[in-house]
Structure 1
Amino acid sequence: MHALMNKRWGRGLLVSLLLGGGWPASAAAPLLTPETCSVETMLRDVRAAMKDGSPALRHYVKARLREAALAMPAAELQAALEREHQPEVLEALGAALATKASHAESPGLVQPLLARAAGDADPAARAAAVRALRATPSVEFMAKNGGVVTYEQLVRDSSPEVRQAVADNLLAESAQVYSGHDRTVSETTVSVASAAEDPAVAARLLGEVSMEAVGHETVERVTRHLKAESPELRAAAATALGGSPGAEAAGARRALVEAFRGDSNPAVRKAALQGIARLGQASARPLLESLRGVDARMDPEIDAWLSALKLNLQEWHLLLREKQRLRR
């Protein structure tokens, strides 16, 4: 494993190396003191970096801990996790344990982390435990641990920090682990949004969820959010429906037209127009034309979409960018 630097050189030298400065000009290459690479020695460096290290050093020690954890005894990592109370260190240690669980294909390793996420008395520690699962197959982990702890449960936590961490995790998992292609993660995200008691968190989840692989029941669940009390949530649901898979496009389109005609909130109507445009260029143009005059404030928005659609751009992000350019 790694040989740790002795205290004489410490973190200052490491930062210099991380920033590309090489050895200090006034010093010869230091003598390195070999030291056993144990969980505790690794955590000592993490604590020091979290206390007064640079962002580069913090990133380095956390990455090094994740790498070292692959060869460390799981029981030692789990025991250290159960003892840890400093949130930043808990998050780093939890991320290392989750990485080991993923590499070993052993979801049971994260049980202590799930327990801290659901039951720790300190909300900062609960949030840290949730964040430790970010960019891992955490939805699968939870299911294979018997569903004792779920994101639907965690999103109702009394702490806003925990609720935000749940949203961050699900969206990162969908985008970074599965590139938006995993049906289970996407459907879980919609389920968690439906379970959330915080409208802002629910709206963020629906506004950013990938809908490309979801099934009919999930599209129906999103559609029901068009009747939510929160206009932010209604607008997010309209945005989500625009990404519905082809088999669900007709129903999603009808729901969006109904929302545009029946919901007087400008943000909801704007999101409905975007959803209609996204669901299909060929069908969108006459449908958008038919919506002129429903709300005169929205007519410039309709005109911008029609102008953008005439360009026949095939990629959604290009079409969206062009429309946004037209409405600056």
Structure 2
Amino acid sequence: MNRSPRWRVALLASAAWLLPLTASAAGSNEPPISQTACSFTGMLDELRTAMKSGSPAYRKYVKARLKLAGRVMPADELLAAVQQERDADVLEALGAAVADKASFSEDASLLQPLLARAAGDSDPALRAAAVRGMKGTGSVDAMGKNGNVVTYEQLIRDSAPEVRQAVVENLVHENAKVYFGHDKAVSETAVAAALASKDPEAATKLLTEVSMEQVGHDTAEKLRGNLRTEHPGLRAASATALGGVPSEEAASTRRSLVDLYRNDKDPAVRKAALQGLARLGMGGASTTLESLRGVAPGMDAEIDAWQSALKLGLQEWHLLLREKERIRK
């Protein structure tokens, strides 16, 4: 595999933790070459400098080097730094290094200091930084292995919007980039967090951007129940989410979305119900959509757009949605 020069520099720097302090060239009269281990304190000082005044590229490099070094260095210093750090940017970078080490070593208990700060620090900026430190890892699984003492369902109730935003970003990213939409636990955690949230914007983003293809019956039932919530944005988000549930949930979900379209007076909710039905049935959705024509005459153009898009025979949902939006313009 090809590596960039920057990656090789980071690898060499971190490898100093594994090398002896002295080495000599075999068969040479040259004096031994002295090697100095890469100091954690030095890396931490460089990280602080980079976070304050470094370019984006330099900050990225320093954080990557810390993560790589963290895999092989003793855990004590790294965990102590996580517990003591008071700068949000530095804590986030340290958290990422700890989360990476926990994943690399398969020791989820290493996350405990980071989880404690995410849930209990008095400074909301530091709570958010601790949450962001877990981004891009199997954080849902790691929380479970730590006994679910701290969960995203708990963290999304935080009074600080930056903490709630960090929760949403973590779950959306973990779903899309770590598990590519195929992990049941992440999807169900996202639904649980959305339903626990008092922040409609955060809940809406979770329900509309996290894949539902692996959710179980109980979670699908909760989503169908949420179609009756008082908040129209959340009814619409739940309808959108239900379009992606597994095939064994299709019949019950179709009935729920049809009822939603017939009875809800909010145009945005009705639009979401049509989208959910189209995604749920794909090529077979045409009959269901046609049965709803005239229920809300102002929405018939939306039905027409879906019918035209469905006739194209596209098998990928994102392509079908794109064509429908193009037709509707």
What is the TM-score with the length of structure 2 in the denominator? 0.89
Measure how far apart 1:281 and its partner are: 2.9
8 A Cα contact 2:283 2:313, kept in partner: no
Does residue 183 of structure 1 match 2:194?
Answer: no
8 A Cα contact 2:176 2:210, kept in partner: no
Q: How does 1:19-58 map to 2 (within 5 A)?
A: 36-58=37-59
Count of residues in Structure 1 that have an aligned counterpart in Structure 2: 300
1: distance between equivalents of 2:275 and 2:319? 13
Aligned to 2:303: 302
Matching residue within 2, 13, 21 for 1:2: 13
2: distance between equivalents of 1:98 and 1:40? 19
Measure how far apart 1:220 and its partner are: 0.5
2:238 partner amino acid: A
Aligned to 2:123: 122
Structure 2: gaps (5+ residues)? 1-11, 15-33
2:310 partner amino acid: L
Aligned to 2:236: 235
1: distance between equivalents of 2:140 and 2:65? 25
Over the aligned positions, Cα root-mean-square deviation in angstroms equals: 1.5
What is the TM-score with the length of structure 1 in the denominator? 0.89
CA offset digits 1:214-251 (Å, max 9, x no partner): 11111000111111121111110000000011000111
Measure how far apart 1:35 and its partner are: 5.1
2:302 partner amino acid: E
CA offset digits 1:124-143 (Å, max 9, x no partner): 00000000000111111111
Structure 1: gaps (5+ residues)? 4-32
1: distance between equivalents of 2:286 and 2:278? 8
Q: Percent identity?
A: 62
1:217 partner amino acid: D
SS at match of 2:13: coil
Q: How does 1:1-328 map to 2 (within 5 A)?
A: 2=13, 36-328=37-329
1: distance between equivalents of 2:81 and 2:301? 59
* Greater than 2 Å deviation, 4+ residue runs: 33-36
Measure how far apart 1:34 and its partner are: 6.8
8 A Cα contact 2:157 2:198, kept in partner: yes
CA offset digits 1:281-322 (Å, max 9, x no partner): 343111111111111221111000000001111111111111
Aligned to 2:22: none
1: distance between equivalents of 2:289 and 2:170? 36
2: distance between equivalents of 1:232 and 1:44? 46
1: distance between equivalents of 2:139 and 2:55? 29
2: distance between equivalents of 1:120 and 1:195? 21
2:316 partner amino acid: E
1: distance between equivalents of 2:105 and 2:259? 49
Measure how far apart 1:324 and its partner are: 0.8
